[in-house]
Amino acid sequence: MVLKNIYDVVVIGSGPGGLAAAVAAKKEGAEDVLVIERDMELGGILIQCIHNGFGVEIFKEDLPGPSYAQRFIKEVFSLGVEILLDTMVLDITPQRKIYASNKRLGFVEIEARSIVLAMGCRERSRPQIRIPGTRPVGVYTAGTAQRWVNVEGYMPGNRVVILGSGDIGMIMARRLTFEGAKVERVLEVMPYLTGLTRNYVQCLLDFDIQLQLRHTVKRVLGNNCVEAVEAVQVDEKWNPVPGSEEIIPCDTLLLSVGLIPENELSRKAGVKLDPITSGPYVDDNFQTNVPGIFAAGNVVHVYDLVDWVTEAGFQAGKCAAKYAIVTHRKESNYVPLIAGDNVRYIVPQKLDKRNLEENEIRLQMRVTQPIEQPVWIEVHDKENLVARKAERYVRPGEMVTVVLKQKNYKDVEKAENLTINIAPR
Amino acid sequence: MLEKYDFIIIGGGVVGSMIARWLSRYEASVLLIEKEADICMGASSANTAIVHAGYDPLPGSLKARMNIVGNPMWDQLSGELSFPFERRGDYVVAVGEEELPGLDTLMEQGKVNGVPGMKMLSKAEVLAREKNINPDVSGALWASTGGICDPFAVTIAAAENAVMNGVKVLLNTSFEDFIMEGTRIVGIKTNRGDFGCRWVINSAGMYSDEIMHKAGIRPEFVIKPRRGEYFVFDRADLTIDNVLFPVPSLKGKGILVTTTLHGNTIIGPNSVFGEEKEDRSTTHEGLEEIWQGAKNLVPCLNQKHIIAMFVGLRPYGNGPCKSPGIDYQHDYIIEIPTEVQGFVNLGGIESPGLTSSPAIAQEVVDLLKDAGEKLKEKKEWDPVRRARPRFRDMSHKERKLLIEKDPRYGRVICRCENVTEGEIAAEIHAPIPATTYDALKRRTWLGTGRCQGGFDMPRVVKIIADELGVSPLEVTKKGQGSNFLLRPTKQVGA
**3-class SS at B414?**
strand
Are both B341 and B362 inside the same structural domain? yes
Average predicted confidence (pLDDT) for chain B: 95
Contact A135 B404 (CB under 8 A): no
Nearest residue on chain A to B308, judged by CA atoms?
Answer: A127
Say if residue A130 is in the same domain as residue A169: yes
Asked if B488 and A153 come within 8 Å (Cβ–Cβ), the reply is yes
Helices (H) then strands (E): counts for chain A: 8, 26
Q: Which among A227, A257, A287 is the end of a domain?
A: A257
For residue range B281-329, what is the model confidence (pLDDT) as tens digits?
A: 999 999 999 999 999 999 999 988 999 999 999 999 999 999 999 999 9
Phi and psi at B107, nearest 5°, equal -60, -45
CB B236 to CB A104 under 8 A? Answer: no
Instruction: Give per-residue pLDDT as tens, A135-168.
Output: 999 999 999 999 999 999 999 999 999 999 999 9
Cβ A142 vs Cβ A124: under 8 Å:
no
Q: What pLDDT score does B110 carry?
A: 97
Same domain, B279 and B329: no
pLDDT number for residue B493: 57
The partner residue sitting opposite A144, judged by closest CB among B400, B458, B478, is B458
Whether A242 is covered by a domain: the verdict is yes
Q: What is the number of alpha carbons within 13 Å of residue B210 lying toward its C-beta?
A: 13
Residue B383, in any domain of the structure: no
Inter-chain contact A123–B486, Cβ cutoff 8 Å? no
Same domain, A106 and A76: yes
* CA atoms of B340 and A52, how far apart (whole Å): 72
C-alpha–C-alpha distance, residues B325 and B331, integer Å: 14
**B208 pLDDT above the threshold of 70:** yes
Read off the DSSP letter of residue A45: G
B109 alpha-carbon distance from chain centroid = 26
In a domain, residue B139? The reply is yes
pLDDT at A331 over 90: no
Q: Which residues contact B154 (CB under 8 A, 6 or more apart)?
A: B14, B78, B81, B83, B85, B354, B357
Written as one string, the DSSP assignment of B212-253 is HHHTT--TT---EEEEEEEEEE-TTT----S-EEE--BTTBS
Smallest CA–CA distance from A91 into chain B, residue: B396
Residues B125 and B160 in one domain: no
- Of B311, B341, B357, the residue that ends a domain is B311
Co-location of A251 and A266 in the same domain: no
DSSP string of A133-189?
B---BTEEEHHHHHHIIIII-EE--SEEEEE---HHHHHHHHHHHHTT-EEEEEEES
Contact A155 B280 (CB under 8 A): no
Q: Is the pLDDT of residue A51 over 70?
A: yes
The answer, yes or no, to whether residue A413 has pLDDT greater than 70, is yes
**Pair B243, B193 in one domain:** no
The answer to whether the Cβ–Cβ distance between A152 and B472 falls below 8 Å is: yes
Is residue A383 predicted with pLDDT exceeding 90? no
Q: In this structure, are B290 and B432 located in the same domain?
A: no
Question: Domain of A210?
Answer: 125-257
Query: Does B58 map to a domain?
Result: no
Within a domain: A148 = yes
Residue A175 located in a structural domain:
yes
Residue A359 maps to a domain: yes
Residues A251-267 as b/e (b if ≥16 CB within 10 A, e otherwise) read bbbbbbbbbbbbbbbbe
Mean pLDDT confidence for B66-93: 97
Q: Is A163 in the same domain as A248?
A: yes
Per-residue model confidence (pLDDT) at position B241: 85
Residues A326 and A346 in one domain: no
Size of interface A-B (CB pairs under 8 A): 152
Nearest by CB to A156, from B231, B309, B484: name it: B484
Domain membership of residue B80 (yes or no) is: no
Residues linked to residue B377 through DSSP beta bridges, in sequence order: B26
Among B279, B283, B411, the residue with its CB nearest the CB of A132 is B283
Residue type, B326: I
ipTM reported for the complex, 2 dp: 0.93
Q: Which of A88, A133, A224 sits opposite B415 (nearest CB)?
A: A88
Together in a domain, A163 and A90: no
Look at residue B492 in the predicted model and tell me its pLDDT: 65
Q: Which helix (H) or strand (E) holds A400?
A: strand A400-404
Q: Please check whether residue A386 is in contact with residue A405, taking contact to mean a CB–CB distance below 8 angstroms.
A: no
* Cβ-contact A39, A65 below 8 angstroms: no
Query: Does residue B70 belong to any structural domain of this protein?
Result: no
Q: How far is B238 from chain A (nearest CA, A)?
A: 14
DSSP class of B437:
H
Contacts of B308 in chain A (CB under 8 A): 127
Residue B453 pLDDT more than 80? yes
Cα B261 to the center of its chain, rounded Å: 14
Buried b (16+ CB within 10 A) or exposed e, B407-423: bbbbbbbbbbbbbbbbb
Give the count of domains, chain A.
3
> Comparing C-alpha atoms, which of A43, A10, A47, A2 is closest to residue A26?
A10
Cα–Cα nearest to A279, from A291, A292, A295: A295
Distances (CA, A) of A372 to A340, A376, A392, B195: 19, 12, 8, 92
Contact residues on chain A for B407, CB-CB shorter than 8 A: 103-104, 106
CATH code, B409: 1.10.10
Q: Strands B184-190, B175-181: parallel, antiparallel or unpaired by DSSP?
A: antiparallel
CA B353, B355, B358, B359 dihedral sign is: negative
pLDDT digits (tens, 9 = 90+) for A268-295: 999 999 999 999 999 999 999 999 999 9
Q: Which residue among B236, B411, B485 places its CB closest to the CB of A155?
A: B485
CA distance B189 to B179: 7
| CA end-to-end span of chain A | 49
Q: Do A141 and B236 touch (CB under 8 A)?
A: no
- Residue B81 placed within a domain: no
| pLDDT tens per residue across span B345-385 | 999 999 999 999 999 999 999 999 999 999 999 999 999 99
CB contact under 8 A, B454 and A220: no
- Whether B305 and B239 map to the same domain: the answer is yes
> What is the pLDDT of chain A when averaged over all its residues?
95
In a domain, residue A363? The reply is yes
- Tell whether the model's pLDDT for residue A330 goes beyond 90: no
Task: Mark whether B52 is an active-site residue.
Answer: yes
Residue A231 φ then ψ, to 5°: -95, 155
In angstroms, the CA A422 to CA A371 distance is 9
Q: Is the same domain home to A44 and A97?
A: yes
Per-residue pLDDT, A67: 98
- From the list B52, B262, B305, B330, the catalytic residue is B52
- Percent of chain A residues past pLDDT 70, beyond the cut: 100
In a domain, A1, yes or no: no
| Mean predicted confidence (pLDDT) in A382-388 | 90
* pLDDT for position A371: 95
DSSP letter at B355? H
Same domain, A236 and A291: no
CATH number of the domain at B161, please.
Answer: 3.50.50.60
Whether the pLDDT of residue B124 is over 70: the answer is yes
Q: Is residue A32 part of a domain?
A: yes
Q: Quote the CA–CA distance of B396 and B391 in Å, as a whole number.
A: 9
Q: How close B395 gets to chain A, by Cα (Å)? A: 11
Interface test with B, best of A45, A105, A152 (most B CBs within 10 A): A152
- Could you tell me which residues come within 8 angstroms of residue A376 by beta carbon, excluding any fewer than 6 positions away? A388, A389, A390, A422, A423, A424, A425
Paired with B252 in beta bridges are B249
Full residue range of the structural domain in which residue B118 is found: 90-144+227-311
Distance from CA of B165 to the nearest CA of A (A): 33
Provide the pLDDT for residue B400.
95
CA distance A266 to chain B (A): 12
- The string of DSSP codes covering B293-329 is HHHHH-TT--GGGEEEEEEEEEEE--BPP-STT---S
Interface with chain B: mutation pick from A107, A146, A160, A227, highest number of B CBs within 10 Å? A107
Element (H, E) at A100: strand A97-102
Look at residue B494 and tell me whether its pLDDT is greater than 60.
Answer: no
Percent of chain B with pLDDT over 70: 99
Alpha-carbon distance values, A293 to A34, A116, A330, A342, B479 (Å): 14, 6, 18, 42, 46
What burial class does residue B485 get, using C-beta atoms within 10 Å of its C-beta: 0-12 exposed, 13-18 middle, 19+ buried?
Answer: buried
Q: Are residues B341 and B212 in the same domain?
A: yes
DSSP B383: -
Distance from CA of A295 to the nearest CA of B (A): 19
Residues A36 and A116 in one domain: yes
- In percent, the amount of chain B with pLDDT more than 90 equals 93
User: Cβ of A224 and B493 within 8 Å?
Assistant: no
Residue A291 sits in the same domain as residue A199: no
Of B286, B408, B482, the CB nearest to A137: B482
CATH number of the domain bearing residue A364: 2.60.40
Determine, yes or no, domain membership for B69.
no
Last residue of a domain, one of A313, A331, A349: A331
pLDDT in tens, A16-28: 999 999 999 999 9
The domain that contains A97 carries what CATH number? 3.50.50.60
Give the confidence band of A1 by pLDDT, cuts at 50, 70, 90.
confident
Same domain for B214 and B237?
no
Q: Cβ separation of B479 and A224 shorter than 8 Å? A: yes
Tell me the shortest Cα–Cα distance from B305 to chain A, in angstroms.
Answer: 8
Amino acid occupying residue B159: A
- pLDDT, residue B93, reads 96
Q: Are residues B232 and B116 in the same domain?
A: yes
**Average pLDDT of span A235-256:** 96
Are both A250 and A135 inside the same structural domain? yes
| Partner residue facing B410 (CB), from A103, A130, A132 | A103
C-alpha of A422 from chain center: 49
| Alpha-carbon distance A176 to nearest alpha carbon in chain B (angstroms) | 9
Cβ contacts (< 8 Å) between B307 and chain A: which residues?
125, 127-128
The answer to whether residue B107 sits within a structural domain is yes
Q: Is the same domain home to A224 and A305?
A: no
Q: Taking 90 as the threshold, does the pLDDT of residue B239 lie above it?
A: no
Looking at the structure of chain B, the number of domains it has is: 3
Residues of B with Cβ-Cβ distance to A99 under 8 angstroms: 396
Task: Nearest chain B residue to A100 by CA: give it.
Answer: B410
Q: Residue A197: inside a domain, yes or no? A: yes
The helix (H) or strand (E) run that includes residue B185 is strand B184-190
Q: What is the pLDDT of residue A121?
A: 96
CATH of the domain at B94: 3.30.9.10
Mutate to test the interface with A, among B489, B490, B491, B492 (most CBs of A within 10 A): B489
Same domain, yes or no, for B163 and B113?
Answer: no
Q: Which of B412, B421, B441 to mutate to test the interface with A (most CBs of A within 10 A)?
A: B412
Pairing of strands B412-414, B419-420: antiparallel
pLDDT in tens, A78-117: 999 999 999 999 999 999 999 999 999 999 999 999 999 9
Residues B242 and B219 in one domain: no
Looking at residue A394, the DSSP 8-state letter turns out to be: B
Residues B232 and B306 in one domain: yes
The residue count for chain B: 494
Alpha-carbon distances, residue B27 vs A403, B9, B167 (angstroms)? 83, 16, 11
| pLDDT at residue A332, as a whole number | 84
